[in-house]
Amino acid sequence: VLYIRAEYPESISAVEQAIGGLYAAGLAGENIMDSGFSFHFKIIKARGAYICGEETALLASIEGQRPEVRVRPPFPAQEGLFGKPTLVNNVETLANLFFILEKGGEAFAAIGTESSTGTKLLSLDSAFRNPGVYEVPMGTPLEAVVHELAGGFRKPVKALHIGGPLGGLAPASKIPELTVDFESFARQGFLLGHASIIGIPASYPLIAYLEHLFAFTAHESCGKCFPCRLGSKRGEEMLHKAQEEGYRIDQRLFGDLLETLEKGSLCGLGGGMPLPVRNALQYFEEELKPYFAEQKTAVQ
C-alpha cells in the first residue's frame, strides 16, 4: 500500500507510471516470473491531515476510520492494518533501498558519519536563491548546503526552521556550527528530522511565527489527547493576545503549558512542537521579552 497525499498529483502520477511499468515487465501481479509469488500495489490518496504522518493514525485512515493516534503497545509491527502485523516506512527509507540493494549495506554505511550513515534529502524553501531538493552525505556542513548548493539567501534571514513544524529553530549564527547529521543537531538542542529547511526573514516577527506553530498544531491535532488538543489552542490564544491586545504572557504559565504538551501528548505532534518554541525563547530572548510579564523568558 502506497499512502500519498492527494495534494501531490504529480507524485501520484509518477508512482502510477512506475507501477504500470512493473506490471508490464511482469515484475508485479500474479505469479511473478513463474515463481508462484504474487504481489500487487494499491495507492491510497490521503486527504491531507498532517496527523497521518504518525503511523497509527495513518493505519486508521486506511481502514476508513477517523485518523486518531493509537496507544502503543501493541505496535504496528505486532498488530497493525486490520489487526495484521504491518511495517510502515517513510518514502525516504524506500528511496535508500535501490543503492543498498545494488551496492550493499556496507557501501551505504561507508557514507556519512559513524552514527548517521548514508545520505540525507534536504528540502529548501524559497528563502534560498536555489530552492529545491538536495541529496547530501550525512556530515555535510550546513554552511556548504546554504552557500554552495543553495546559493545563499535571497534576503537577510534570522533563523532556519529545520525538520518540519516540530523541528528545531536554529538562529542563523548557528549555521557554521552545524553539520547535516542527527548527532550534530542533538548536541546543539535542535532536531534534524526530515530535514526540510525554511528560512525565516529577518524582518518577520518571531512572535507571529510562534503563534503560527501553535495554530498549525491546533488545526492538525487529531483531538484524542487533551494536552495537544487544548494546549495548542491555549498557546495560540496567548500569543495572539500578546500581539493584538498588549497582553503580557506569564512566564511560568507558558512554561507549564510547554511541559504539559511535551510530556502529556500521545504522539509527536503535541509532544514535539515545544522544541522550536523553546529554541526561539532561548536564542531570541531580547526580541520576545516585550511579550512576557517577567524579564526573563521561559527557556525550561
Q: In this predicted model, what pLDDT tens digit does every residue of 253-270 receive, in sequence order?
A: 999 999 999 999 988 889
User: pLDDT band for position 300 (50/70/90)?
Assistant: very low
Whether 12 and 34 share a structural domain: yes
Ranking 46-50, 78-82, 87-91 by mean pLDDT, the lowest is: 46-50
Mean pLDDT across 92-104: 92
- Boundary (domain end) residue, out of 201, 228, 257: 201
280 & 236 share domain: yes
Which residue among 144, 166, 201 closes a domain? 201
Kindly state whether residues 15 and 81 are assigned to the same domain: yes
Which phi and psi (to 5°) does residue 77 adopt? Answer: -65, -20
Which CATH number is 271's domain given? 1.20.1440.230
CATH number at residue 28: 3.40.50.11540
Residues 214 and 279 in one domain: yes
Alpha carbon 278 to chain centroid, angstroms: 17
Give 197's strand partners.
124, 162
Contact 111, 119 (CB under 8 A): yes
Q: Residue 156 is inside which H or E element, if any?
A: none
Query: Tens digit of pLDDT for each residue in 23-39?
Result: 999 999 999 999 999 99
Model confidence at 298, pLDDT cuts 50, 70, 90, reads very low
CATH number at residue 171: 3.10.20.600
Mean pLDDT calculated for residue range 211-240 = 93
Question: Is the pLDDT assigned to residue 297 strictly greater than 70?
Answer: no
Could you tell me which residues come within 8 angstroms of residue 32 by beta carbon, excluding any fewer than 6 positions away?
A: 26, 38, 39
6 & 84 share domain: yes
How much is the mean pLDDT over the chain? 93
- 237 occurs within a structural domain: yes
User: Are residues 212 and 179 part of one domain?
Assistant: no
In a domain, 242, yes or no: yes
Q: Which of 181, 201, 221 is the last residue of a domain?
A: 201
Q: Could you tell me if residue 275 is inside a domain? A: yes
Q: Which region holds residue 83: left if phi is over 0, alpha if psi is between -120 and 50, else beta? A: left
Within a domain: 46: yes
Q: Which residues of 44-54 are buried (b: 16+ CB within 10 A; e: fewer)?
A: eebeebbbbbb
Residue 22 falls within a domain, yes or no?
yes
Kindly state whether residue 181 falls inside one of the protein's structural domains: yes
Amino acid at 99: F
More confident residue, 90 or 300: 90
- Does residue 99 lie in a domain region? no
Residue range of the domain that includes 226: 206-291
269 vs 265: CA distance, rounded Å: 8
The pLDDT score that the predictor gives to residue 196 is: 94
| 147 plus 176 within the same structural domain | yes
- Provide the domain count of the chain: 3
What residues contact residue 100 under an 8 Å CB cut-off, 6+ apart? 107, 108
pLDDT of residue 263: 95
Shared domain for 259 and 280, answered yes or no, is yes
What are 158-212's pLDDT values in tens digits? 999 999 888 999 999 999 999 999 999 999 999 999 899 999 999 999 999 999 9
